[in-house]
Every structure is written in structure tokens, then in C-alpha cells.
């Protein structure tokens, strides 16, 4: 048995329960799902359960049979060579690119589309920097409902746009940034009768919190670690922290990780806020970065993210685009593991953070590689390592010409 409550993240007011509600009835801020379960999983109970995030069913909204494709339970890969190269004691990378459509978004969208069906929705909508649209298009297809996505014109990585087209979404281009597209979605969804599945939707975060449960299970409960997460709209870092808090609240762990966020310096309102010690962020009007998944100037979940890093003892930092691309390549060439640029940002932060002394070397880090590297095979990223004629290579290794 579980009981749900929708509580405001700002004023704490509990709004009347509705699966369609996104904003606080009193102050208009965002809502958080509070789940009260009479029974919860433990390590023994989990043995033999389904190999997806739905194994944590006690803390997930299973109002009906879930719309699922086996999302979650992504590999947590220990990286010794990369740890040596970065100079940290221990490093794991969580490969979220292994999800069905190649990013962690599938966790939230699996729950979100399940809830949308329960709420009677036949049309779902989102604004997207790319991965949300790819994921929502796929899960809507599986559920047999209509999907509308709004994307910033000309700013979507080719692999992601291809996915949204392939899965049959209605794709609308918006001039401006992701932030403009999200504003339109929030303003127009109701009159379109569409269910909003951006990370303002509290149920999406319920799916994404399972990343924390998996790390707990995969590390045998040792959570004296740092979890490093790329931050765009700031839903994911907050969702993962919610998962760790629930593990603590249900007595499944005593220690919880420090949460560290990373933004790209061309889209870093939260990193800048922390660097300045300010109380609220200054928005970035035209965010720029090669990491299109985190090209966001007004992170809508900023309050949740601030609470996350403050209560976990972490912070949010920024890295430059060239550091992101270098990290992408370093990870790939030392470990054979890759991610799209946003997913490599945590590695870039580890490198600059231990060099500058912001991050201690003698600790364990879990980096969330949020999206698959083939999402964004832009030739501009891969001007490195150009193919050569075989004869030229042979001359080099044999010394003959």
C-alpha cells in the first residue's frame, strides 16, 4: 500500500491530489511527489526481480501496468585507467546511454507516460533539447497516443532529431532557445488538451530517482561517494538526490552521497550563482555550448537543485566546451566508454576540479554519463584522429618507404 501527496517545493502547501496537477494551487511553484509506502524493497527482496528500474516498484507509481521497455539498470562501470589519468582514487561511470532510446530521460518518461494514461491523456507534449523528444516519441508510440514536441530550430543534435522523426512524433520548431520552447509548452498545453512531460512534471522525477536506487544496489550499499551530474533544467540531479533521501528515510542507508552538479560555462546560471554565493540565479538569455542537452539558460528546477547540493554538501561548477570535448575523448580512449558531450561534462569537471583543488583526490566518484555518444556525431566534435591511407601508416610502423 502507498499513499501519495503533492507538496509545493516553495511554500510546502499540499495541493488536492490530481495526476494532472503540476503547480501549487496556492503559490504556483512546482510540486514534489511524496510517497508513503507501508512496505519497501530491500537487498534480498530485490534478488530475482525484473532487470529494469521497475524492480523498485514499492516506491514507483504503478497505478496501472507500466509503459516500459526495460529502462534503467544501466551498467555502473569501474574505470581504473581513467581514474589514474584524472588522479582520483576511485571512479565509476554510469552508462545512461544504455537506456532504450539512449538517455536517462527514458526513466522519467516511462513513469510519465504511465501516469498520463492513468490521467486519461491521449496527447502528450514536451519542449526538448533533443533527448526528451526522442524518449517521449518512443514511449508515446508504445502507448498508442499522440506526441507533440517543440524544439529550438536548428539546435538539436542530429541523432536525437532522427529519433523523434522515426518514432512518429509531431515535431514543431520554435525560434529561440529551449527556454522559449518550454514557455510556449507551459502556456499552451491546456488549451491543446495535452499532458506536459517536461521535468516540471513531478512524476517524471519519480522515474529518474531510480538512478540512486541502482547506485545503492550496484555499490552494495556503500554510499560514502560523490555523484557528479550534468545540469540543464536541473531535474535529474534533484531526482537522483530524492532517491538517496528516500533510501535514507526508509532505513536502507545511513550515509548519502555528496551531489555535485556541472554546467557548461556558456550556460551556467547555477554554477555562477554558487561561485558568487548569491541566493538566486541570474538567467542566461542566449545560452551557448557544444553540449546541447544542457544548453539551458533558465533551469526551471533550480530551487530543487539548490536544495539538493546544499543538503548533500555539494556544489555546482562549470567547465568550458573544450574541456568537455577533451573529456569525451579521454574517457573514450582510456576506457572504451563514451557519451554525448553533456554526458562527458562530469569527467571534465573531475579533471579541472582535482587540478584546482575544489574536489578531493582521495575519494570515490560516480559520474553520470547521461546520454549515448551516437546521439551527437557532429563532425565538428571529431576533427581529431582523421583516417590516414594504409600505406602511410605502414611506412610509419616499419620505417620503410
Interacting residue ranges for ligand PLP, rule: CB under 6 A: 103, 105, 131, 199, 230-236, 293-294, 340, 342-343, 370-371
131 contact choice in ligand PLP, Zn ion, none (CB below 5 to 8 Å, kind-dependent): ligand PLP
275 contact choice in Zn ion, ligand PLP, none (CB below 5 to 8 Å, kind-dependent): none
Name the nearest CA neighbour of 235 among 266, 201, 210, 267.
201
Find the shortest distance in angstroms from Cβ 294 to ligand PLP.
5
Find the shortest distance in angstroms from Cβ 26 to Zn ion.
5
**Closest to ligand PLP by CB, 174 or 252:** 174
**13 binds Zn ion, rule: CB under 5 A:** yes
Q: Is 144 left (phi over 0), alpha (psi -120 to 50) or beta?
A: left
CB 347 within 8 A of CB 319: no
Question: Can you tell me the distance from the alpha carbon of 270 to that of 66, in angstroms, rounded to the nearest whole number?
Answer: 34
- Give Cα 291 distance to the centre of its chain: 13
Find the shortest distance in angstroms from Cβ 11 to Zn ion.
3
Half-sphere exposure of 335 (CA within 13 A, CB side): 26
233 contact choice in ligand PLP, Zn ion, none (CB below 5 to 8 Å, kind-dependent): ligand PLP
**34 binds Zn ion, rule: CB under 5 A:** no
Q: Which helix (H) or strand (E) holds 251?
A: none
> Both ends of the chain: CA-CA distance in Å?
76
**24 binds Zn ion, rule: CB under 5 A:** yes
Find the shortest distance in angstroms from Cβ 340 to ligand PLP.
5
294 contact choice in ligand PLP, Zn ion, none (CB below 5 to 8 Å, kind-dependent): ligand PLP
Strands (E), 81-158: 90-95, 123-127, 146-152
**11 binds Zn ion, rule: CB under 5 A:** yes
**Closest to ligand PLP by CB, 110 or 236:** 236
**26 binds Zn ion, rule: CB under 5 A:** yes
46 contact choice in Zn ion, ligand PLP, none (CB below 5 to 8 Å, kind-dependent): none
Q: What is the largest CA-CA distance in the chain?
A: 80
**5 binds Zn ion, rule: CB under 5 A:** no
Find the shortest distance in angstroms from Cβ 305 to ligand PLP.
8
**Closest to ligand PLP by CB, 61 or 159:** 159
Question: Can you tell me the distance from the alpha carbon of 113 to that of 122, in angstroms, rounded to the nearest whole number?
Answer: 10
Name the nearest CA neighbour of 61 among 108, 120, 126, 14.
108
342 contact choice in ligand PLP, Zn ion, none (CB below 5 to 8 Å, kind-dependent): ligand PLP
- Give Cα 158 distance to the centre of its chain: 19
11 contact choice in ligand PLP, Zn ion, none (CB below 5 to 8 Å, kind-dependent): Zn ion
CA dihedral 277→199→329→79, nearest 10 degrees, is 90
Question: Can you tell me the distance from the alpha carbon of 41 to that of 35, in angstroms, rounded to the nearest whole number?
Answer: 14
In the complex, residue closest to ligand PLP by CB: 371
Question: Can you tell me the distance from the alpha carbon of 171 to that of 186, in angstroms, rounded to the nearest whole number?
Answer: 16
Find the shortest distance in angstroms from Cβ 389 to ligand PLP.
36
Find the shortest distance in angstroms from Cβ 306 to ligand PLP.
13
> What 8-state DSSP symbol labels residue 100?
T
List of residues contacting Zn ion (CB under 5 A): 8, 10-11, 13, 24, 26-27, 29
Amino acid at each position: 500500500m502507498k499513499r501519495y501527496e503533492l507538496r509545493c517545493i516553495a511554500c510546502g502547501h499540499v495541493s488536492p491530489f490530481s495526476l494532472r496537477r503540476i503547480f501549487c494551487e496556492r503559490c504556483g511553484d512546482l510540486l514534489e511527489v511524496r510517497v508513503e509506502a507501508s512496505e519497501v524493497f530491500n537487498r534480498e527482496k530485490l534478488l530475482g526481480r525484473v532487470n529494469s528500474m521497475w524492480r523498485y516498484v514499492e516506491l514507483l507509481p504503478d497505478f496501472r501496468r507500466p509503459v516500459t521497455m526495460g529502462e534503467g539498470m544501466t551498467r555502473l562501470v569501474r574505470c581504473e585507467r581513467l581514474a589514474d589519468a584524472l588522479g582520483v582514487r576511485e571512479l565509476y561511470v554510469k552508462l545512461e546511454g544504455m537506456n532504450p532510446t539512449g538517455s536517462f530521460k527514458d526513466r522519467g518518461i516511462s513513469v510519465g507516460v504511465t501516469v498520463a494514461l492513468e490521467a486519461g491523456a491521449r496527447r502528450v507534449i514536451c519542449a526538448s533539447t533533443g533527448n526528451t523528444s526522442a524518449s517521449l516519441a518512443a514511449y508515446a508510440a508504445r502507448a498508442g497516443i499522440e506526441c507533440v514536441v517543440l524544439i529550438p530550430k536548428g539546435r538539436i543534435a542530429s541523432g536525437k532529431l532522427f529519433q523523434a522523426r522515426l518514432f512518429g512524433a509531431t515535431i514543431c520548431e520554435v525560434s529561440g532557445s529551449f527556454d522559449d520552447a518550454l514557455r510556449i509548452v507551459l502556456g499552451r498545453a491546456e488549451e491543446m488538451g495535452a499532458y506536459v512531460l517536461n521535468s516540471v512534471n513531478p512524476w517524471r522525477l519519480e522515474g529518474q530517482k531510480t538512478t540512486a536506487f541502482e547506485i545503492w544496489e550496484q555499490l552494495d550499499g556503500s554510499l560514502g561517494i560523490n555523484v557528479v551530474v550534468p545540469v540543464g533544467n536541473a531535474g535529474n540531479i534533484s531526482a537522483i538526490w530524492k532517491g538517496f533521501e528516500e533510501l535514507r528515510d526508509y532505513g536502507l542507508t545511513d550515509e548519502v552521497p555528496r551531489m555535485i552538479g556541472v554546467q557548461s560555462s556558456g550556460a551556467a546560471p547555477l554554477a555562477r550563482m554558487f561561485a558568487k554565493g548569491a541566493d538566486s540565479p541570474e538567467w542566461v538569455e542566449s545560452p551557448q555550448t557544444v553540449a546541447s542537452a544542457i544548453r539551458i539558460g533558465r533551469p526551471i528546477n533550480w530551487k530543487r537543485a539548490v536544495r539538493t547540493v546544499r543538503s548533500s554538501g555539494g556544489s555546482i561548477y562549470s567547465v568550458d566546451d573544450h574541456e568537455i570535448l577533451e573529456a569525451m575523448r579521454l574517457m573514450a580512449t582510456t576506457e572504451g566508454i563514451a557519451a554525448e558531450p553533456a554526458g562527458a561534462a562530469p569527467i571534465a569537471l573531475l579533471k579541472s576540479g582535482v587540478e584546482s583543488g575544489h574536489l578531493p583526490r582521495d575519494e570515490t566518484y560516480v559520474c553520470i554519463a547521461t546520454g549515448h555518444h551516437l546521439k551527437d556525431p557532429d563532425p565538428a566534435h571529431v576533427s581529431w584522429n582523421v583516417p590516414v591511407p594504409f600505406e602511410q601508416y605502414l611506412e610509419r610502423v616499419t620505417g620503410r618507404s
